[in-house]
Structure 1
Amino acid sequence: MSNRDEHIVEAAGKCRVVIRNGRVVEVGTPQIQDCPLARRFACPVEEMTPEAIQRNIEARIRSFGMCTPEREVLAGPDFVPFGASELLSSAVRRGDLDAAVIASDGAGTLVAENPALIQGIGGRMSGLVKTSPISAVIARIEENGGVVLDPEAAVIDQAGGVALARTLGHRRIAVTTAVAAEAAAIRERFPETVIVGVHTTGLSREDAALMAGAADLLTACASRYIREEAAKAALLQAGTSIPVFAMTRAGKAIILGKIGETDQPFIVHSARLPVPGSQSPEPLC
């Protein structure tokens, strides 16, 4: 790694964390006080404090090399039933999608058509704000069929990633984004793309409305406004504590396809959305 090695993620509670040369050097203030998902992490975050979040990030660095040359990029089992990476890897595995445009620490935006690569990167990744290129990580991604948009700078440019996927011959493409304006721009430029809105905690009311209008699938995280927008137009909700909403028929098909390939029991019934769970992040923001 070089002297410019720096990675910025938004971890549990949308807490800004800076990692340089494999070490956590800065931890911000979480925006929420409790998260049921964070309490189920491999290294649980029982209390939303900078110290607990730093321990979680350091555990990720040790266990799978996050933001280091040792970064593992493949994974098999689901981490959660309806996470973005779980839904997209399932859809690619079934052949409903050709590829997914995602972002990885150490590589930036990339195109992946290997379900294990989609899950290995996305299932372990918090909200990635900025990253630096790590040659070993990029090589590992390429060895497993991934194509990195900009290996020299590891830029995060999801619209550019969709354009790259199209030049590679893919047509049934999904993309993740945490930026409402980017989601809207992708919808306008590539209207057939499946857009997955992720890491939505803290979105303004205006950005939540923009994201809901552009996305096919929308993770609610701890966003009050995403839940309000989903109440207006969502076709299907997966999960209750931290729900994922299908905003279009394309998104609905991906969730139903994921349900169809598992033996896990589910209940399906009509309801006014969103349906709250017994536990939710607190406070919604």
Structure 2
Amino acid sequence: MTQGDEHIIEAAGRARVVVRNGQVVSVGPARITSCPLAARFSEPVRTFSEEEIQRNIEGRIATFGMCTPERVVVSDDDFVLFGASELLSSALRCGIIGAAVIACDGAGTVIATSPRLIQGIGGKMSGLVSTTPIPAVIDRIGEHGGIVVSPHDAALSAESGMRMALEKGFHAPAVTTASADEATLLRGLCPAAFIVAVHTTGTTAEEAEMFAASCDLIFPCASRAMYEIAGKKALLQGGKAVPVFAMTAAGKEVVLAKIASAEAPVVITGRALPYSEGKEPSPLQ
């Protein structure tokens, strides 16, 4: 480990967690009090207490080496049907996208070129705020065909990742972002890109409008504005309790491709969107 090893994550309920040298050193308060997805974690988060969130992060460190040199970066396991990494892995497997620009602890921005790498990096990852380079993780990503955009400092920049992906010949890369300004910039930079909004709890109405105008897929998390603005403009919704909104024909294609390849039974019905059974994260904000 390097002396400056530090990783800041916004985990369950956007609680800010700091991990140094493989140890959780601080956990901030969560912004929500319940989430059906978090309740199903292998280390469940039900009350959103700081102690419970710390146990969850420590469980991730123990099971797949998050924020350590032992970080597992490939996986064949789907954790949810309509998760961001699951959808992007499926899209790459189906040839809808050619690569995905995503964030990884210990490496920063990564251009992932295989479904297993997308799922391994993103399947159990929360919102990454900042990270520092871990050489073993960077090397492992390279061994599996990934490209670390800024290995010297593990910087997080979807724009830099997009630009490098275009330079490498990926003409319509997928990219995840938690910033409405960044989503707008990315759409202008590459109109053919596949843009995914993630980690959106607390999004304002203005930001929700920007996301809706720029993104192919939107994960509304616990954002009331995303449900009310993006949800009403969506072409398709995947899931009920923690949904994904397909905002474009390309987004709809990716969700339907995932359904087509899924082994689990799926119910498809016509509804006004957004559709909810009152089980979404709470409180929406």
Same fold, judged at TM 0.5 (above):
yes
Instruction: Report the counterpart of residue 119 of structure 1 in structure 2.
Output: 119
Q: Give the aligned length.
A: 285
2-structure distance, mates of 1:186, 1:88: 17
1-structure distance, mates of 2:185, 2:70: 34
- Aligned pairs for 1:1-285 within 5 A: 1-285=1-285
2-structure distance, mates of 1:78, 1:259: 13
**Considering only aligned residues, what root-mean-square deviation do their CA atoms show, in Å?**
0.9
Asked if the contact 1:96–1:172 (Cα under 8 Å) also holds between the matched residues in 2, the reply is: no
Asked if the contact 2:69–2:135 (Cα under 8 Å) also holds between the matched residues in 1, the reply is: yes
2-structure distance, mates of 1:47, 1:117: 32
1-structure distance, mates of 2:3, 2:85: 31
Q: SS at the partner of 2:267?
A: coil
2-structure distance, mates of 1:218, 1:33: 22
Asked if the contact 1:15–1:30 (Cα under 8 Å) also holds between the matched residues in 2, the reply is: yes
The Cα offsets for residues 157-211 of structure 1, whole Å up to 9 and x where unpaired, read as 0011011111111123100011111011000111110000000111122212211
2-structure distance, mates of 1:231, 1:39: 23
Unaligned runs of 5+ in 1: none
Deviation, structure 1 residue 232 = 3.1
TM-score relative to the length of structure 1? 0.98
Deviation, structure 1 residue 271 = 1.4
Asked if the contact 2:208–2:230 (Cα under 8 Å) also holds between the matched residues in 1, the reply is: no
Asked if the contact 2:238–2:255 (Cα under 8 Å) also holds between the matched residues in 1, the reply is: yes
TM-score relative to the length of structure 2? 0.98
Sequence identity of aligned pairs in percent? 54
1-structure distance, mates of 2:57, 2:231: 34
Letter matched to residue 153 of structure 2:
A
Q: SS at the partner of 2:284?
A: coil
2-structure distance, mates of 1:26, 1:81: 31
1-structure distance, mates of 2:251, 2:7: 31
1-structure distance, mates of 2:64, 2:263: 29
Deviation, structure 1 residue 266 = 1.8
